[in-house]
Structure 1
Amino acid sequence: MTTIKDVAQRAGVSASTVSRILNYDQTLAVSEATRRNVLEVAEKLQYKKRPKKAKTSGTKIAVIQWHSDQEELNDLYYYQIQYGIETKAQTGGVSVDTISFSNTQSIDLSDYAGIIAVGKYDQSEIHQLATFHKPLVFIGENYLLYGYDSVQSDFLTPINWMISHFLELGIQDIGLIAGQEQTLTEHHDVYDPRATTYRHRMTHENLFNPDFLFTGSYGPDSGHALMTQAITQLQDRLPHAFIIGSDSMAIGALKALKEHQIEVPQRVSLVSFNDVAIAKYASPALTTVHVYTEIMGERAFDLLQEQIKDTNKIPESVVISTRIITRDSSR
């Protein structure tokens, strides 16, 4: 198992610096480059060693990312997907260039064989990507409606599993701290099936309480603010379990609970999503839903190659399973 010492050695910083970066300690005076390097090293050490590069085929693909560099630092979910794409491309000798969606209109994409678009896109953005007339695959949402291959994760099953698990333990007051994203151009709220599934299941159990549902942006600061809000507003009615939209939000929530001397998991159990590296280095280590982001990237690459070879390929929507990683933050 990779340790903080391993990350520190590879990143060229002290173990204490690694620990503070992985726990999103904003009082730590380090450069953004150092912070990014530590987070990326921690992620890479979770995965199998990259295969050797194949002979370059001359083929290039573009990976369009919708999020900013700062958003990626706050939540490495999209970085993990990118790593999966690059790993699979490397085995085939295919070059990968990453391009921000905001820059696509100023970049010539004529030399690229195809595009993988990572993120959540609105209709106008989908149409913009379609104007390049390239094989196109989306990761993150189901865009089969628009006639495109899509790869996404199963977030519905783990929500039901978590609720069933807590109910079996006799915990009926279950809260949700959900992330809310918006598309870049039209600023539409992105539909999150986890929040809908949570509402439906808790309503079915006659246990839904709107006071237990909190929504904000992804990232540790938001997680801290939302959990602080829950503690302040609910006081003794604070739920004994929370499902949290991402590991980075859970790190912030943990900090808020510690500040209010609320023990985890003795008083409040936490379960989060994604299983990025920070989850296992948290204190307590986070029980989390492992999202197979690397496989998502690999499958998207395969779909793109199929489109390149067959322009009449029938579009597919691929849903990748997830699994629960049980650690110390929940009963």
Structure 2
Amino acid sequence: MPRDSATVVDRGAGCLLGGALGDALGAPVQFLSSSDIQRQHGPAGVIAPPRPALITDDTQLTLFTADGYLRAFVRGRDIGSWEPAETVWRSYRQWLTTQQQERPAVDADGLLRHDELYASRSPGLTCLRALASNGPRHHDDPQNDASGCGGVMRTAPAGFAPSPRIAYDLGSRFAALTHGSPSGWAPAGALALLVHLLAIRGRPLRDAVDQAIGRVLRDDPETARLLTTAVLLAEAHRGTTTTAVGADRLGGGWTGPEALAIAVYAVLLFPRAGDFTDAVRVAANHSGGSDSTASIAGSIHGALHGTASLPSDWLARLELADVIRDLGHDLGRSAAGLDFDEERYR
């Protein structure tokens, strides 16, 4: 059964804030091997975000995904039709300007008015090149064959679409704007579907993962295979001390399928409301793209349990926490059929 409206709204904020916290946790150890992480941070690896907890391009683009989706949602309410992929494309192009300018323009509004978003936090070349092209592309007309994690790491907001089918479709379409391989956009559809099933439909975690596997199998068997492996590894490693080894067995998180599988593995290992920090630590302390994998894990865990599961001391140091929370609340309100300040998105 769908959750009550207040819970959906809280899950929206939990999803975006959880993703940002995971992003900030994994950012300092991105590119490092497990052994190097332990050498620099101790046997437990990185255990908390720095002060301040700075977001990367993963969260920046997630915010612009949410903003673009809500603009499409409001436009659809106004005129009776919507083109969310095109609207999100325009939102991504706005993000691109933040990477080319030092500060907001005098008349900037929306997300563009926040100075912090003009920081360049190692954005992926695939996204930069794709967004510098002439216009949006689709699965059927890709401009590249990219399969990196830069598509999936930003598409959790699509999970707040009106139905599971639309959530998967929009997640895939948003990722395909920059990543043309099925392994680049299908994991994004699976993530959006998973977020929708958890945050809005109230499905148990394992059931939601199984449903996402079944759906993504049609588009990308590699994503389905790695997610299935993640389920089996989580079952084998739950309650043991070999969790980081399990994450490394799923790859480095550089591709879309690997990043999603590592995140799902971490949340399956630590699925309870009080387990948020343990889940994102597993997702961060492996050899590879730690910011993206921990960000995706944080989004899933936050969609499952909402803001009460998030550590308050981490939130207190999180960059742009109020902006992230507000966008998440508006996503939840749109999904729950509640009023929100639509003028912000016109």
TM-score (norm 1): 0.26
Q: Which is helix-richer, 1 or 2?
A: 2
* Max Rg structure: 1
Q: Say which structure, 1 or 2, has more relative contact order (CA 8 Å, 6+ apart).
A: 2
Q: Which is strand-richer, 1 or 2?
A: 1
TM-score (norm 2): 0.25
